[in-house]
Chain A
């Protein structure tokens, strides 16, 4: 699972307020090379929660992402390459997604997160 997908997930347990983003507990992370495409990055940026991407990257030891992003940075190739790597090339293979409020852990196995809830959680 890429950090782009992580950016789109939230904990759906009932009765909590702080459900986003998941904290990542990683036991295996891979790097997969992807074609660099600035146009894709510029179009994805407005749909992302930047602080969540930054926090996820930090937690996996992926460095270089700024705390915030300005318009002109989206024209800066050096920045875009770091953004590209964090968003698309870092892949969580094994670990857990942890709800920031309840601490409920959702397993990630062979790159696939299982977000199914138990009956008493919905």
Chain B
């Protein structure tokens, strides 16, 4: 299966370079793609950065013959510009790129997605780091790396369609079992598991796979 290619991906000093976490996310999407519970029509990637993961998801769906519409969302001007270039270089035409905060974008409650992908800023940092407006926004996660993740979790029950799936990248410091428990407590129709885990330098990365049943 063809996914995104680094040589066709745009990133720079203001846009997070595809790294171990990105590649783990794409591997997790590939793994799950062999058995989607239902055809995914509407997909969103939050914090698309270079566009590498959005591109990979769109290419996987295309190769499976699954028509879809993908929104690639990021708060950063540099990131949405990079994502647009990356999508174009790969010939992906099923995606639109939008610049917005996810907290605002997702507040339109009528919208439900079949696939939600989020590689959040998960690195534990002092909370002040969250005020930065440079590339630190792509990784600075505040206390336990959970500040942005926890903001996002409250949106999951209303944005995930029936049988919809969420792919969320985390590190061990984020307390993955605690995230899964928090989601199940928010909405009893949500259940999740660790889909893949990989050690990369000092980070123990995982992709959580949450589904609505």
Identify the A interface with B (CB < 8 A). Answer: 1-2, 4-5, 8-10, 12, 20, 32, 34-35, 37, 39-40, 43-44, 47, 49, 88, 110-117, 122
**Given A1-B96, A34-B93, A117-B104; A8-B111 close (CB under 8 Å):** yes
Contacts of A2 in B (CB 8 A): 69, 96
Inter-subunit contact A39/B67 (CB<8 Å): yes
Inter-subunit contact A116/B100 (CB<8 Å): yes
Inter-subunit contact B98/A113 (CB<8 Å): yes
A to B CB contacts below 8 Å, 15 in the list: A1-B98, A2-B69, A5-B96, A8-B111, A20-B108, A43-B39, A43-B41, A44-B42, A111-B97, A112-B99, A114-B77, A116-B75, A116-B99, A116-B101, A117-B104
Contacts of B68 in A (CB 8 A): 40
Inter-subunit contact B96/A44 (CB<8 Å): no
Report the separation of the CA atoms of residues A84 and B167 in the bound assembly, to the nearest whole angstrom.
29
Q: Tell me how far the C-beta of A52 lies from the nearest C-beta in chain B, rounded to whole angstroms.
A: 11
Count contacts on B: residues with CB < 8 A to the other chain: 27
Q: Which residue of A lies closest to B100 (CB)?
A: A115
Q: Tell me how far the C-beta of B29 lies from the nearest C-beta in chain A, rounded to whole angstroms.
A: 20
Q: Which residue of A lies closest to B104 (CB)?
A: A12
Q: Which residue of A lies closest to B74 (CB)?
A: A112
Contacts of A40 in B (CB 8 A): 41, 67-68
Contacts of B107 in A (CB 8 A): 12
**Given A4-B69, A8-B111, A44-B42; A112-B84 close (CB under 8 Å):** yes
Q: Which residue of A lies closest to B96 (CB)?
A: A5
Q: Tell me how far the C-beta of B36 lies from the nearest C-beta in chain A, rounded to whole angstroms.
A: 14
Report the separation of the CA atoms of residues A35 and B107 in the bound assembly, to the nearest whole angstrom.
31
Give the 5 A-B residue pairs with the shortest CB-CB distance, closest first.
Answer: A40-B67, A115-B100, A37-B67, A5-B96, A114-B99
One of B80, B105, B112 near A47 (C-beta < 8 A):
B112
Contacts of B99 in A (CB 8 A): 112-116
One of A34, A35, A112 near B80 (C-beta < 8 A):
A112
Report the separation of the CA atoms of residues A92 and B82 in the bound assembly, to the nearest whole angstrom.
19
